């Protein structure tokens, strides 16, 4: 059995863990935002979904905040808590608009159909709760 001292590696720290969390959620979410910039038709789908629940179509542009601006804030550590909160809110909208019929469904492999959406929802919340750590442009 390894003692606690054996696990105390030079790069092991609270700040490094927070950086890894920020980079993971930020980079992975940013790919979704880049996809929406390259394929603007996806905005039409979001607009239709918003209209379907009596919300204004203009809210569809919020996806750029939640999937481009907020991930960049989180990645670089600039107002990371706010960026994490925006990602969290973005995912609430995504789940309600596009995935509400999948709440209790499983994939063919037994996982939750909403695993990816829940990952982004909860890691955005984790960044909000934990902050950026020291390894950030503007630590919070």
CB 67 within 8 A of CB 33: yes
Distances (CA, A) of 3 to 6, 7, 8, 11, 14: 5, 7, 9, 17, 19
CB 23 within 8 A of CB 75: yes
- CA separation for the pair 81, 130 (Å, rounded): 8
Q: What is the pLDDT along the chain (140 residues), one digit of tens a residue?
A: 455 555 665 667 899 999 999 999 999 999 999 999 999 888 888 888 888 888 898 988 999 999 999 999 999 999 999 999 999 999 998 998 878 888 889 888 888 889 999 999 999 999 999 999 999 999 98
- CA separation for the pair 47, 126 (Å, rounded): 29
Q: What's the predicted TM-score (pTM) here?
A: 0.87
As beta bridge partners, residue 12 has none
């Amino acid at each position: 059995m390894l003692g606690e001292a054996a696990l105390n590696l030079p790069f092991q720290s609270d700040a490094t863990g927070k950086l890894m969390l920020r980079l993971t959620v930020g980079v992975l979410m940013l790919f979704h935002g880049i996809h929406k910039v390259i394929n603007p038709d996806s905005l039409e789908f979001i607009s239709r979904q918003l209209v379907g629940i009596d919300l204004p179509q203009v809210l569809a542009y919020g996806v750029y905040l939640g999937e481009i601006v907020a991930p960049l804030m989180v990645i670089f550590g600039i107002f990371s808590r706010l960026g994490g909160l925006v990602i969290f809110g973005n995912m609430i909208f995504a789940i309600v608009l596009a995935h509400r019929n999948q709440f209790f469904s499983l994939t063919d492999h037994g996982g939750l159909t909403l695993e990816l959406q829940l990952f982004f929802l909860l890691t955005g919340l984790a960044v909000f709760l934990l902050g950026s750590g020291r390894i950030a442009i503007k630590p919070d």
